[in-house]
Amino acid sequence: MSVRAFGSPARYIQGPDALSELGALVRLHGQRPFVVADTIVMDLLGARLEAELVEAETVTFATFGGECTAAEIDKLAAAARAAGADVVIGVGGGKAIDTAKGVRIALRTPLVIVPTIASNDSPTSRLVVVYTADHVLSEVRLMDANPDAVLVDTSIIVQAPARFFVAGIGDALSKKFEVEQCAAAGGLNFFKGRPTSLAVTIADACYRAIRADGEAAVAAVAHKTADDGVERVVEATILLSGLAFESGGLSIAHSLTRGFSTVPEVARALHGEQVALGLLVQLLAEGREADFMADMLAFYARLNLPRALEDFGVETEAVVEGIVSVSWDTAPYIRNFVQPLSKERLADAFRTLAGLRRAE
C-alpha cells in the first residue's frame, strides 16, 4: 500500500488590491527579488511592482519571451544568478509563472507567484510545463517544494479578457472527475502518494463552487467587477483547482492535452479550453447518462466552453486518431481510470461529441 501525500504552497493570499501585500511578503524571503514577467504585464504593472518592491536592496526585472522553453529558463536563470537574486517572483499567466518556477529550480531560492489571469491551475503547484519553441509540450519538471507564496489580486484578475477566466473554469471543472478516477483506480498524485480524502473533498468543493457561481462570475468579470461570487470562483480556479490536481491526481481530461498539443489549431487554445474538451471525452468514456451529459453540455454552452474539436476549427475525423494515440502513449496518468479503456473508446467519445455539437 502506497503512502498518502498532500502538498500546498506555504501561503495563499487573495482579494482586491492584494498586490499591496507584495513588498512585505517578499521581504520575508529575500532582499534582491528577480521578477519574471512578459512585456504586456510590465506595461500594465511595471510601475506598480517597482513601487511595491521599493524597500528591496535591488530589484531585477527580466523580460519573459512568451514561451516556457528550456532555453528561456536557462537564459533567465543566468540573468538571475548574475543579479545575485535571492527570491524569484513570477508575475503573469501560466507560461511566465512556469518559467519563474524553472528559474527557481536552477537557483534554489524562495518563490512568490503573482498570477494576473485566472486561466489555469499552475500557480500553487510544483509543476513546470516546458514546451519546444514550436509550442509542443516537451517535458514536465518538478520543483522540490511548492511556491512559498501565491498572491492573487482580484482587481487585476477581472481586468483581463473574460476568455481567460472562462478557461480557468474549464481547467477547474475537470478536477472532481479526474481526482475521483485517480483515487478509485489506485493512482498516484504528483507527490507520488495516494490522494488524501482532503484532496478529494477539495476537488468536490471546487466543482460545486463553479457550478454555483460560475455563470454569474463570468458576467461580473465581463463588467470588470470583482464581487463575492468572483472571489469564490477565483479561489476555486486558482487555489482549489491547483491543490486538487497536485494532491488528488489526474486522469483522462488532462492526459488528452498531450495529444492536443500536437494539433496546431488546438495547441493554440488555452490550457483550460483543452482540458474542458478533455473532460467531456472522459465523462463519455465513464459512460455517463445522457441527462448528465446534456446538463454539462448546456453549462458549457452558457459559458462558451468548447464542446467538440470543431470548436477549435478542426474536423474531428482528421485529427482524432493522432490525438488519442499521442495521449495514450505519452500521458502517464491516462490509466488512472476505473472503467475499461481503449484508444477506440476515447476516439468514439470524440466522435460522439462531434455529433452532439452538430445537433445543437
Residue among 140 and 222 whose Cβ is closer to Zn ion: 140
DSSP code string of 277-319: HHHHHHHHHTT--HHHHHHHHHHHHHHT---SGGGGTS-HHHH
Residue among 218 and 279 whose Cβ is closer to Zn ion: 279
Residue among 56 and 266 whose Cβ is closer to Zn ion: 266
Q: How far apart are CA 221 and CA 130, in angstroms?
A: 30
Stretch that binds Zn ion, among 49-57, 71-79, 165-173, 310-318 (CB under 5 A): 165-173
Stretch that binds Zn ion, among 81-89, 167-175, 178-186, 227-235 (CB under 5 A): 167-175
Please report whether residue 171 would count as binding Zn ion according to CB under 5 A.
yes
Stretch that binds Zn ion, among 53-61, 99-107, 164-172, 206-214 (CB under 5 A): 164-172
Stretch that binds Zn ion, among 66-74, 169-177, 262-270, 346-354 (CB under 5 A): 169-177
Please report whether residue 121 would count as binding Zn ion according to CB under 5 A.
yes
Stretch that binds Zn ion, among 70-78, 115-123, 213-221, 339-347 (CB under 5 A): 115-123
CB of 83 to Zn ion, least distance (A): 31
Residue among 64 and 333 whose Cβ is closer to Zn ion: 333
Residues 282 and 253: beta-carbon distance below 8 Å: yes
Q: Which residues pair with 141 in a beta bridge?
A: 128
CB of 238 to Zn ion, least distance (A): 11
Contacts of 348 (CB under 8 A, 6+ apart): 284
Residue among 109 and 282 whose Cβ is closer to Zn ion: 282
Backbone angles phi, psi at 87, to 5 degrees: -155, 135
Residues 1 and 68: beta-carbon distance below 8 Å: no
DSSP code string of 167-190: HHHHHHHTHHHHHHHHHHTT---T
Residue among 171 and 231 whose Cβ is closer to Zn ion: 171
**Nearest alpha carbon to residue 231 among 244, 243, 219, 217:** 217
What does each C-alpha distance from 183 to 186, 187, 295 come to in angstroms?
5, 6, 25
Residues 227 and 233: beta-carbon distance below 8 Å: no
CB of 237 to Zn ion, least distance (A): 10
Pairing of strands 127-131, 137-142: antiparallel
Residues 270 and 165: beta-carbon distance below 8 Å: no
**Nearest alpha carbon to residue 261 among 171, 138, 77:** 138
CB of 160 to Zn ion, least distance (A): 18
Nearest-10 crossing angle of helices 343-358, 316-330 = 150
Amino acid in the structure at residue 66? G
Residue among 171 and 273 whose Cβ is closer to Zn ion: 171
CB of 187 to Zn ion, least distance (A): 16
Number of residues binding to Zn ion, judged by CB under 5 A: 2
Please report whether residue 98 would count as binding Zn ion according to CB under 5 A.
no
CB of 271 to Zn ion, least distance (A): 6
Stretch that binds Zn ion, among 9-17, 67-75, 101-109, 163-171 (CB under 5 A): 163-171
Residues 328 and 346: beta-carbon distance below 8 Å: yes
Amino acid in the structure at residue 213? D
Stretch that binds Zn ion, among 6-14, 48-56, 148-156, 166-174 (CB under 5 A): 166-174
Please report whether residue 246 would count as binding Zn ion according to CB under 5 A.
no
Please report whether residue 38 would count as binding Zn ion according to CB under 5 A.
no
CB of 245 to Zn ion, least distance (A): 6
Residue among 116 and 274 whose Cβ is closer to Zn ion: 274
Q: Which residues pair with 37 in a beta bridge?
A: 63
Q: Which residues bind Zn ion (CB under 5 A)?
A: 121, 171
